[in-house]
Chains A and B, each alone.
Chain A
Amino acid sequence: MADVRNGIATRAGAMILAPVGWLANLFDSPLRMLQRRTGSNGMAVFFLAPNMLVFGIFVLFPLVINILYSMTGGGALFLGDRTFVGADQYGRLFSCSSYLDPKSCIEDLFWIAVWNTLAFVVLQVAMMVAVALVTALVLNRELRARSFWRAVFFFPVLLSPVVVGLIWRWILQRQGLLNLMVFEAGGTPVNWLVERNWAFTAAIMVSVWAHVGFYALILLAGLQAIPKDLYEAAEMDGTRPLRVFWRITLPLLAPNLLVVLVLTLIRAVQIFDEVYVLTGGGPGTSTLFLTQYIYEVGFASMLRNPGLASAASILMGAVLVVLTLIQLGIARRNEQRGKMR
């Protein structure tokens, strides 16, 4: 049966690929002419070109002109039409009598978003790492059908943020499933997405729900790389499970934990999609985060100010660069340690 299926798949694949192969052959003679001029090693440039062109136009160039954008003012879209204002946009972002009190700032929304994001990052990262670690530890035990259980926790990772947001909006609405459970348990239903603290909690919970499977998977790979004989030795000595965890598992998993910690930090700082669909930043501004602030100031709101959005995005980018450099440093150190082992 499998042979038949493979045969069909191969034949179908060949049928689909036949015209593509024909197309590729058409390119051969002009490319041979090119190769005669560049030499075979020079063709590397040709192979790199499409990817680097896209990189250059859509990543590097925007990155460079973003700095220029953040030093201009007005509502015009193209850089040439904009007026140079120096560091005014940054000055505007930072003009506060007290940074702790967003109401005292000119750009009060920016500081609300900053503090919201900070609170979100601290709580969500702690929760994410804890849940991912427990899940990985559970999945690392001797389980029947481990791949099934691994898939269970991984399922939401594939869902789109819009789908995630809508699934939970439906559960958390006033007449939703959660309130049904509260009601059946004898409690009073709560309007989860309308009460500030509950909406913030929901944003954390939903983002953990959506991504925890990804981090659990990374940690699981780390756990499975820990040599089994260490555990066997501990078992022979009759060491208690908690002690095994503190003395063997945690120290040996530390590099992976660090990677997961930094990755969750990087993602949490940029949180937008699923929370935007879930709460729209509300109620009021209680779930307004940095990326949404940039989006609204740059594109959506009546008081569109691209320069200000640029300045805010550069500040956020600086934080992310620092975090990414830490991540790369850790990754390199892990690699070296792996070689030594």
Chain B
Amino acid sequence: MSRVAEFLFRRRGGAGWHWTDVFTWFWLIGGLIVMFGPALWLVNSSFKTPAALAEFPPTVLPYVTAEAIVAGYEEPLQLFEVRNDDGSVRVLAEVRRLGTVAQMVDPANPGEIIRVNIKNRTPKRSIAFALDNYVQPFLAFDFFLYLRNSVFVTVVATLITLLTNSMAAFALSKYNFRGRSAVMMLIVATLMVPLSVILVPLYSVISAMGLFNSLWGVILPTVATPTGVFMLRQYMLTIPDELIEAARMDKASEWQIYWRIILPLTAPALAVLAIFSVVWRWNDFLWPLIVLSRKEVYTLQVGLNTYAGQLNVQWHYILAMTVVTMIPVVLVFIFLQRYITTGIAGSGLK
């Protein structure tokens, strides 16, 4: 044990613990708890029944009170562990309770009513995952539809983003034409225009095009990302022009040069942009909230917000659907996180 500790806390140079080391570990362990804890607590809670969610103080594991169907009774009866006078314990089902005395029956022998003081019994509980929280929203509510809409928006918007951004980046990196710097300036300028500044006129444009309450109305305004064009252009500038010249010698068309030479060579940058685009479009909230007002076209984010905004929040469903909404992003985090972190460190992209 002490060897493990020695290994874990071994420091370079073998010197003793400086206060900065103590602080470093305080910050890291604290960060681990604060950053992951809330999400883990949500995942944990999502497996609890409504009754267990209403308990205070809450338990860590999802418990349910056990019930049994007893011959002669229509409703299932709640089970209790009853302590006998001699100290032995047996499981009985409650028929009814009068003050401090409960009338109970032995499920194996339902004919005989046994009177038990409620001080001598505890509810029988067992660990059970309320998977119903995950199934019901898909069956009884429209969450399957929302999920489908979200996937559609994410996939289509990402594909269009990759195509249009890479074409524009190709033009801006490999051609010399009048007004190229003007176009670059224009793209830089749009970096300054966040969605919240053009909400009202953009809404009228979308409505005039008949895209209100359509998933295309969510997709189209987002696909011309200036950051995407920039990143791809930076990458394409590193591709030697000789490759293009050689292809032109061989009578390749410009489209073929773009398609057969530039795109394959830009694959790493395209992959990074694809990851970003998926996360962006999956997480989009404000714009879908405005464009989508009918339930059939809600994305997961909008649907989740709507259900969570109701007066009587059904937390057991909301928690489970929040977990479902988190899943793709958590997968990206686990498998592709390093592409994103290098992307941000390299270009300040977000």
Contacts and interface: CB of A to CB of B under 8 A. Distances in A.
Interface of A: 21, 24, 27-28, 31-32, 35, 40-48, 50-52, 54-55, 57-63, 65-66, 69, 77-79, 134-135, 138, 141-143, 147, 149-156, 158-163, 166-171, 175, 177, 179-180, 183-184, 209, 213-214, 217-218, 220-221, 241, 259, 263, 266, 270, 272-273, 277, 280, 290-291, 294-295, 298-299, 306, 309-310, 313-314, 316-317, 320-321, 324-325, 328
Pairs A-B, 5 closest by C-beta atoms: A160-B283, A51-B168, A44-B175, A62-B201, A47-B171
A259 B348 contact: yes
Interface string B162-200: 011101101110011100100100111011111011111
Given A44-B175, A55-B224, 7 more contacts: A47-B170, A58-B202, A60-B190, A152-B35, A156-B39, A213-B35, A263-B348
A316 B204 CA distance: 20
A318 to B, nearest CB: 9
A50 B167 CA distance: 8
A143 B193 CA distance: 40
20 contacts: A24-B259, A27-B255, A42-B177, A44-B180, A47-B170, A47-B175, A47-B258, A50-B164, A60-B186, A63-B197, A138-B23, A154-B340, A156-B39, A160-B285, A160-B325, A167-B39, A273-B285, A294-B200, A313-B199, A317-B192
A180 B348 contact: no
A89 to B, nearest CB: 11
A41 B290 CA distance: 41
B117 interface: no
A27 to B, nearest CB: 6
Nearest to A139: B28
A78 B322 contact: no
A152 B197 contact: no
A295 B290 contact: yes
Contact of B224 (A42, A58, A306): A58
B283 A161 contact: yes
A231 to B, nearest CB: 13
A314 to B, nearest CB: 7
A136 B45 CA distance: 32
Contacts of B176: 41
A135 B31 contact: yes
B197 A320 contact: yes
A160 B207 contact: no
Given A55-B224, A160-B282, A160-B283, A317 B193 contact: yes
B333 interface: yes
B109 interface: no
Contact of B31 (A55, A153, A158, A168): A153
Given A151-B341, A220-B345, A221-B345, A166 B177 contact: no
B200 A170 contact: no
A61 B200 CA distance: 12
Which of B188, B220, B346, B350: most chain A Cβ within 10 A?
B350
Chain B contact patch, size range: 35 or more
B20 to A, nearest CB: 5
A26 to B, nearest CB: 11
Contact of B183 (A42, A52, A142): A52
A171 B43 CA distance: 12
Contacts of B259: 21, 24
Given A298-B203, A314-B197, A328-B188, A54 B220 contact: yes
B3 interface: no
A66 B198 contact: yes
Contacts of B283: 158-162
B185 to A, nearest CB: 11
Given A28-B255, A45-B177, A62-B201, A163 B326 contact: yes
A160 B38 contact: no
A149 to B, nearest CB: 6
A166 B318 CA distance: 8
B96 interface: no
Interface string B18-40: 10100110011001101110110
B164 A51 contact: yes
A126 B349 CA distance: 22
A159 to B, nearest CB: 6
Contact of B196 (A69, A156, A213, A291): A291
Contact of B197 (A28, A179, A317, A328): A317
A78 B197 CA distance: 18
Interface in B193-243: 193-194, 196-205, 207-208, 220-221, 223-224, 229
Interface stretch (B52-60, B68-76, B119-127, B132-140): B52-60
B243 to A, nearest CB: 15
B89 interface: no
Contacts of B199: 294-295, 298-299, 309, 313
Nearest to A39: B254
Nearest to A219: B345
A226 B28 CA distance: 22
B344 interface: yes
A65 B201 contact: yes
Interface in B282-339: 282-283, 285-286, 289-290, 301, 304-305, 308-309, 315, 318-319, 322, 325-326, 329-330, 332-333, 337-338
A321 to B, nearest CB: 5
Contacts of B224: 51-52, 54-55, 58-59
Contact of A58 (B12, B57, B221): B221
A183 B38 CA distance: 18
B49 to A, nearest CB: 15
Given A48-B172, A77-B204, A159 B57 contact: no
Contact of A171 (B38, B164, B290, B337): B38
A155 B333 contact: yes
A65 B27 CA distance: 49
A313 B196 CA distance: 7
Contacts of A54: 164, 220-221, 223-224
A58 B218 CA distance: 11
A37 B42 CA distance: 61
A150 B265 CA distance: 30
B256 interface: yes
